[in-house]
């Protein structure tokens, strides 16, 4: 049975960096589930049709890391039919041997609630805004407004809101360097695999 690591948290908290590092460290497959929603939003047109027609090539689009794609993803992720169309894709991905790391907003609560490791990665709003602004070459103050708006939408949506699973391990990366955050996550996984 594949070993699944579910990582959730708000945008720019460090969950993607941690997820990629864990996948490399343990030799697991990695899926940034936000790309599914970003790619669906970037396709345009009817979001439900776009989600149903999503292909692996759509996940390789160079514009998926833009702020616009992130906002579109947050908006369409609130549509239950879009979510339903993408859940099966995520379940198939999580079933790959020897294991998989999935990061997103509802992995530990909805997609893989039985995952043996669930992490909830957070950072202060100001730290997240500074990180995302540096990544995109944007204004930190404007990014702070965008992140808070997205957090509100993601946390208040009726379908699978952003929240930690009851048994998730919290990792606050506000005052951590990348190596320290990765080491903390590896330690959690190592304990679970014993």
Catalogue all structural domains in the chain, each as residue range(s) with its CATH number: 3-193 (3.40.50.300)
Q: What is the pTM of this model?
A: 0.87
Window from 52-56, 166-170, 172-176 with minimum mean pLDDT: 52-56
On average, the pLDDT of the chain sits at: 92
Going by pLDDT thresholds of 50, 70 and 90, the confidence category of residue 117 is very high
CA-to-CA distance for 40 and 77, rounded, in angstroms?
Answer: 9
Instruction: Give the orientation angle of helix 80-94 with respect to helix 33-43, to 10 degrees.
Output: 140
80 is in an annotated binding site: no
Closest CA to 70 of 137, 6, 130, 10: 10
174 annotated ligand binder: no
Q: Is the pLDDT of residue 92 over 90?
A: no
Query: Is residue 103's pLDDT more than 90?
Result: yes
- Residue entry with tokens 């970003």: 38
Q: Is 10 annotated as a binding residue?
A: yes
Is 2 annotated as a binding-site member? no
11 annotated binding-site participant:
yes
| Residue 15 annotated as binding site | yes
**pLDDT recorded at residue 88:** 85
Q: Residue 21: helix, strand or coil by DSSP?
A: helix
Whether residue 67 has pLDDT greater than 80: no
With beta carbons less than 8 A apart as the criterion, state whether 173 and 181 touch: yes
13 is in an annotated binding site: yes
Residue 56 is predicted with a pLDDT of 74
**Residues in a beta bridge with 117:** 5
* CB contact at 8 A, 180 and 161: no
From residue 15, how far is each of 51, 66, 107, 194 by CA, in Å?
23, 17, 12, 23
């Amino acid at each position: 049975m594949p070993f699944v690591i579910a990582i959730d948290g708000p945008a720019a908290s460090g969950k993607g960096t941690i997820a990629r590092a864990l996948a490399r460290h343990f030799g697991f497959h990695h899926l940034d589930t936000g790309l599914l929603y970003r790619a669906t939003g970037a396709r345009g047109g009817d979001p439900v049709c776009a989600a149903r027609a999503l292909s692996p090539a759509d996940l390789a689009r160079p514009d998926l890391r833009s702020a616009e794609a992130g906002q579109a993803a947050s908006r369409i992720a609130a549509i239950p039919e879009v979510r339903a169309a993408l859940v099966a894709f995520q379940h198939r991905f999580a079933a790959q041997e020897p294991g998989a790391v999935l990061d997103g907003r509802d992995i530990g609560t909805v997609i893989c609630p039985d995952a043996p490791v669930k992490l909830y990665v957070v950072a202060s709003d100001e730290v997240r805004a500074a990180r995302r602004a540096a990544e995109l070459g944007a204004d930190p103050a404007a990014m702070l407004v965008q992140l808070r708006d997205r957090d509100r939408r993601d946390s208040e949506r009726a379908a699978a809101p952003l929240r930690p699973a009851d048994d998730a391990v919290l990792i606050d990366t506000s005052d951590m360097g990348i190596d320290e955050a990765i080491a903390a996550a590896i330690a959690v996984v190592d304990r679970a695999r014993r």
